[in-house]
Structure 1
Amino acid sequence: MNKKLYKSDVNKIIAGVCGGIGEYFGIDPVLIRLGWVVFCALGGSGILAYIIAALIIPQRKDF
C-alpha cells in the first residue's frame, strides 16, 4: 500500500493541511485542528509550521 500525504480538497478550511493529515492517518480532521490550536496556544510555532506545511504539502491532482 502506497500512501501519500496531500492537502485535502474535501476537509478544507484554510489550506487543507489539517484535513490532509487527518485523511492520511485515518482520523477526524477536527482532532488535528484542535491539536494544532493547542500547539499554537502553548507557545509553539504552530502558525509558522502551518504556513510551511501549506507550501510544502502538494495539492492532490486527480486526473
Structure 2
Amino acid sequence: MKRLVKSEEKKIAGVCGGISQYINPELDPIIIRAAWLILTLFNPLMLLAYFILALVLPDTKYKTV
C-alpha cells in the first residue's frame, strides 16, 4: 500500500518530491514543483496547502511498504 510521505530530495520541505514519488516513482519532482508554482500563481491558497502538507506529512523514515 502506497503512502504519501515527504521526500528526502528536498528543496523546501519535501512535499512536491513526495507527491511525485506517490504518483510515479520515476516522475521527476521538478515537474510537480513547476505545476505547484503555476497553480500558486493563480490560486494563492495553494501556498497555504503546501505549508499544511509540510506539517502533516510524515518523513520518509516512517514509511511503511
In the superposition, the TM-score normalised over structure 1's length comes to 0.85
The match for 1:18 is: 16
Q: Which has the higher contact order (CA 8 A, sep 6+)?
A: 2
**Letter paired with 1:18:** C
Identity %: 45
CA distance in 2, matches of 1:53, 1:30: 18
The amino acid across from 2:18 in the alignment is G
**Per-residue deviation, residues 34-56 of structure 1 (Å, max 9, x unmatched):** 11101111134121010001011
TM-score computed with the length of structure 2 as normaliser: 0.83
Specify which structure has the higher proportion of helix: 2
Counterparts of 1:43 and 1:58, CA distance in 2: 25
| Aligned residue pair count | 60
Q: Partners in 1 of 2:32 and 2:44 — Cα distance?
A: 15
- Residue 61 of structure 1 and its aligned partner are, at CA, apart by 1.6
RMSD: 1.2
Structure 1 residues without counterparts, runs of 5 or longer: none
Q: Which amino acid aligns with 1:17?
A: V
